[in-house]
Amino acid sequence: MLNTVYRLVAPRRFEVAFNDIDLNSDKVVVRPTHLSICHADQRYYQGTRPADVMAKKLPMALIHEAIGDVVYDATGEFKPGELVVMIPNTPVEKDDIIAENYLRSSKFRASGFDGFMQDNVALDRDRLVRLPQDIDRTVAAFTEIVSVSVHALRRFERFTHARRNVVGIWGDGNLGYITAVFFRYMHPDTKLIIFGTNEDKLSSFTFADETHLVWEIPEGLTIDHAIECVGGDASQKAIDQMIDLIQPEGTIALLGVSEYAVPINTRMVLEKGLHLYGSSRSGRADFEKTVELYQEYPEILGYLSNIVGAQVEVSSIADMTKAFEMDINKMMGKTIMIWNK
Ligand X SMILES: O=C(CO)[C@H](O)[C@H](O)COP(=O)(O)O
**Footprint of ligand NDP (CB under 6 A):** 38-40, 145, 148, 170-176, 195-198, 201, 214, 229-232, 234, 237-238, 255-257, 279-281
37 forms part of the interface with ligand X (CB under 6 A): no
Which position among 14, 78, 108, 183 is part of the footprint of ligand X (CB under 6 A)? 108
Q: Is 144 annotated as a binding residue?
A: yes
How would DSSP label each residue in 202-238?
Answer: HTT-TTSSEEEETT-PPTT--BSEEEE---GGGHHHH
**In the bound complex, what is the minimum distance in angstroms from residue 19's beta carbon to ligand X?**
21
Distance of CA 259 to the CA centre of its chain: 17
Farthest-apart Cα atoms in the chain, separation: 65
Find the part of the chain contacting ligand X (CB under 6 A) among 12-20, 141-149, 289-297, 298-306: 141-149
CA 91/CA 100 separation, integer angstroms: 6
67 forms part of the interface with ligand X (CB under 6 A): no
**In the bound complex, what is the minimum distance in angstroms from residue 37's beta carbon to Zn ion?**
9
Q: Of residues 38-77, which lie at the interface with Zn ion (CB under 5 A)? A: 38, 40
**H/E stretch holding 123:** strand 121-123
Q: Is 39 annotated as a binding residue?
A: no
Neighbours of 65 (CB within 10 A): 29
In sequence order, which ranges of 246-316 are alpha helices (DSSP H)? Answer: 266-272, 284-296, 299-305
Torsion of CA 37, 41, 47, 48, to 10 degrees: 100
**Closest listed residue to residue 156, CA positions, set 190, 105, 194:** 190
x-marked contacts with Zn ion along 13-42 as a string, rule CB under 5 A = -------------------------x-x--
Residue 214 binds which of Zn ion, ligand NDP, ligand X, none (CB < 5-8 A, kind-dependent): ligand NDP
Q: Is 65 annotated as a binding residue?
A: yes
40 forms part of the interface with ligand X (CB under 6 A): yes
**In the bound complex, what is the minimum distance in angstroms from residue 285's beta carbon to ligand X?**
16
Which position among 148, 152, 169, 245 is part of the footprint of ligand X (CB under 6 A)? 148
Contact present, 152 and 253 (Cβ < 8 Å):
yes
Residue 108 binds which of Zn ion, ligand NDP, ligand X, none (CB < 5-8 A, kind-dependent): ligand X
58 forms part of the interface with ligand X (CB under 6 A): no
CA 249/CA 106 separation, integer angstroms: 33
Instruction: Report the chain's terminal Cα–Cα distance, integer Å.
Output: 16
Query: In the complex, which residues of this chain contact ligand X (CB under 6 A)?
Result: 38, 40, 43, 64, 108, 111, 144-145, 148, 257, 281
Binding residues for Zn ion (CB under 5 A): 38, 40
The binding site for Zn(2+) consists of: 38, 64-65, 144
